[in-house]
Amino acid sequence: MIGRLNHVAIAVPDLEAATATYRDTLGATVSEPVPQPAHGVTVVFVTLPNTKIELLHPMGEKSPIQGFLDKNPAGGIHHVCYEVEDILAARDRLKEQGLRVLGDGEPRLGAHDKPVLFLHPKDLYGTLVELEQA
Amino acid sequence: MIGRLNHVAIAVPDLEAATATYRDTLGATVSEPVPQPAHGVTVVFVTLPNTKIELLHPMGEKSPIQGFLDKNPAGGIHHVCYEVEDILAARDRLKEQGLRVLGDGEPRLGAHDKPVLFLHPKDLYGTLVELEQA
């Protein structure tokens, strides 16, 4: 069911410094910072030949990654995102198998304007997983 | 400099259960468990269309992931691995820029029988990064 790894999201306390490290030190192609107020984050996209890294920094007072950075002040890998062909079918199958979908269980538009859901990390061995409709 | 994302490594406390979840619930293609005594881990490879997930479980008394599981008993994302064309050139460039290479700084053969190095997570915003010669 899961398809491509769409991205790995890394929360960072200093977006400018992290962007410079990925661009200048690791030699990767990075985007400008993209504010995403609806998601409470500013994102820098790091383009790799086969997938993306997304550097996330909190935006606003209710950012969903603030708690993670409070626990991990240096930053860290926040989640992985797998693509699925049909997000509603994927959700229903996973719920039947006992996995918990975060929030109200309805997909919402994610950072790439496609429907996304998040699965509870306790059901996936400590890994927060985002599903995105391909 | 960094190329493809070779894999995302996820440490899990119960390899059999995690493998079943990735295979049966998430519907991914998984390998048999591969013992890697030289690395202190048993690995299950989860094949995605564009990259791999590696489920890691401690093997032996000095496993490099035991400390991580002690701190994260449910498991969690342990590291990401980027491919580089020339691991010695990459190492020298990164050291010049102040990044710390773990261990004695010499590449050793990794899980795929190619030279690998690990970079200190404190220099990369809390992310443990493995470099593997492509």
What's the mean pLDDT when you consider all of chain A? 96
Q: From the centroid of its chain, how far is CA B123?
A: 17
**pLDDT for B110:** 84
Predicted confidence (pLDDT) per residue in A43-58, tens digit:
999 999 999 999 999 9
Q: What is the pLDDT of residue B111?
A: 80
Give phi and psi for A27, each to the nearest 5: 70, 30
pLDDT of residue A43: 97
The whole-angstrom distance between B48's CA and the closest CA on chain A is: 6
Query: Touching check for A13 and chain B: CB below 8 Å?
Result: yes
Picking from B28, B68, B71, the residue whose alpha carbon sits closest to that of residue B52 is: B28
Q: Is the ipTM above a cut-off of 0.90?
A: yes
pLDDT tens per residue across span A64-107: 999 999 999 999 999 999 999 999 999 999 999 999 999 999 99
Q: What is the phi/psi pair of residue B101, to 5°?
A: -95, 135
Q: Between chains, do A10 and B125 touch, taking CB under 8 Å as contact?
A: yes
**Which member of B54, B83, B130, B132 is catalytic?**
B130
pLDDT, one tens digit for every residue, chain B (134 residues): 999 999 999 999 999 999 999 999 999 999 999 999 989 999 999 999 999 999 999 999 889 999 999 999 999 999 999 999 999 999 999 999 999 999 999 999 988 889 999 999 999 999 999 999 99
Residues with Cβ within 8 Å of A131's Cβ and at least 6 positions away in sequence, in order, are A2, A81, A82, A83, A84, A87, A90, A91, A116, A117, A118, A119
Q: Which of B56, B62, B52 is nearest to B76 (CA)?
A: B56
Among the partner-chain residues B10, B17, B48, the one whose CB lies closest to the CB of A4 is B48
At residue B113, the pLDDT reads 87
**Closest Cα of chain A to B24: distance in Å?**
9
Q: What is the arithmetic mean of pLDDT over A109-129?
A: 93
Mean per-residue pLDDT, A28-38: 95
Q: Least CB-CB distance to B2: which of A3, A48, A125?
A: A48
Examine the pLDDT at A110 and tell me if it is beyond 90. Answer: no
**A74 min Cα distance to partner chain B (Å):** 5
Active site residue A130: yes
CB pairs under 8 A between A and B: 116
Question: Three-state SS string across A33-86, please?
Answer: CEEEHHHCEEEEEEECCCCEEEEEEECCCCCCCHHHHHHCCCCEEEEEEEEECC
Q: Which chain A residue lies closest to B11 (C-alpha atoms)?
A: A125
User: In sequence order, what DSSP letters do the residues of B23-89 get, joined into one string?
Assistant: IIIS--EEPPPEEEGGGTEEEEEEE-SS-EEEEEEE-STT-TTHHHHHH-TT-EEEEEEEEES-HHH
Please state, in angstroms and rounded to a whole number, the distance separating the CA atoms of residues A87 and B118. Answer: 36
Question: In the CATH hierarchy, which top-level class contains the domain A5-133?
Answer: alpha beta
Confidence at residue A113, expressed as pLDDT on a 0 to 100 scale: 87
Interface test with A, best of B25, B87, B129 (most A CBs within 10 A): B25
The pLDDT assigned to A29 comes to: 98
